């Protein structure tokens, strides 16, 4: 019998690093949110795989490169002690190219489900946009919306940040 694993899918901008209101691709402007390393450590200690799923449309718009995105991800991994299991990004933008990887599509999550043999019923997604919640819902993953979303449309749970989302996930 195969054991199924559990994971927390994490949107990047606005969850793990500060949302700048514009694209974030320069490591010196990539500011990790307070409490992120500690929150990820708590989730990891509870047996969750940690998987970043982020739309990076600036690549399709030729504003920056995948190499620059990876440099930001290296900074994130370093700050968190290398505990993130996978970092997926979609380089598409609807005005330039179609992609099922781009959230609200769920292909980034589906890749991780296959790779890590995940039980979607034991997984969560944490994001700051309803499209993140939709990507999770597409495959049966529960979501926690974070941040100051005016257009949260009554989505629950809706909490302040990753620290609060971690408490929701861990049932605390």
pTM higher than the cut 0.85: yes
Provide the token pair at 55: 């739309």
Q: What's the CA gap between 46 and 124, in Å, rounded? A: 13
Token pair 């769920």 in the structure block, residue: 106
- Is 143 domain-assigned? yes
Strand segments, DSSP code E, in 30-155 are: 48-55, 86-90, 124-127, 142-146
Q: Assign 73 a pLDDT band (cuts: 50, 70, 90).
A: very high
Token pair, residue 158, equals 């809706």
pLDDT tens-digit profile of 14-26? 999 999 888 999 9
In total, how many domains does the chain have?
1
Residue 1 within any structural domain of the chain = no
Residue span of the structural domain in which 130 resides: 6-169
CATH of the domain at 154: 3.40.50.1000
Whether 27 maps to a domain, the answer reads yes
The SS3 of residue 64 is coil
Backbone angles phi, psi at 20, to 5 degrees: -100, -5
Active-site positions read 11, 13
């Amino acid at each position: 019998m195969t054991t199924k694993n559990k994971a927390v899918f994490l949107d990047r901008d606005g969850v793990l690093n500060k949302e700048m209101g514009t694209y974030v691709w320069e490591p010196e402007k990539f500011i990790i949110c307070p409490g992120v390393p500690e929150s990820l450590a708590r989730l990891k200690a509870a047996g969750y795989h940690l998987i970043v799923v982020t739309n990076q449309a600036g690549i399709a718009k030729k504003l920056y490169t995948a190499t620059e995105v990876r440099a930001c991800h290296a900074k994130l991994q370093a700050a968190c002690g290398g505990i993130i299991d996978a970092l997926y990004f979609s380089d598409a933008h609807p005005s330039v190219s179609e992609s099922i990887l781009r959230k609200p599509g769920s292909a980034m999550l589906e890749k991780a489900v296959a790779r890590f043999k995940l039980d979607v019923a034991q997984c969560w997604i944490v994001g700051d946009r309803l499209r993140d919640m939709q990507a999770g819902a597409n495959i049966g993953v529960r979501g926690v919306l974070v941040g100051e979303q005016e257009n949260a449309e009554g989505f629950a749970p809706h909490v302040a940040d990753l620290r609060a989302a971690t408490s929701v996930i861990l049932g605390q």
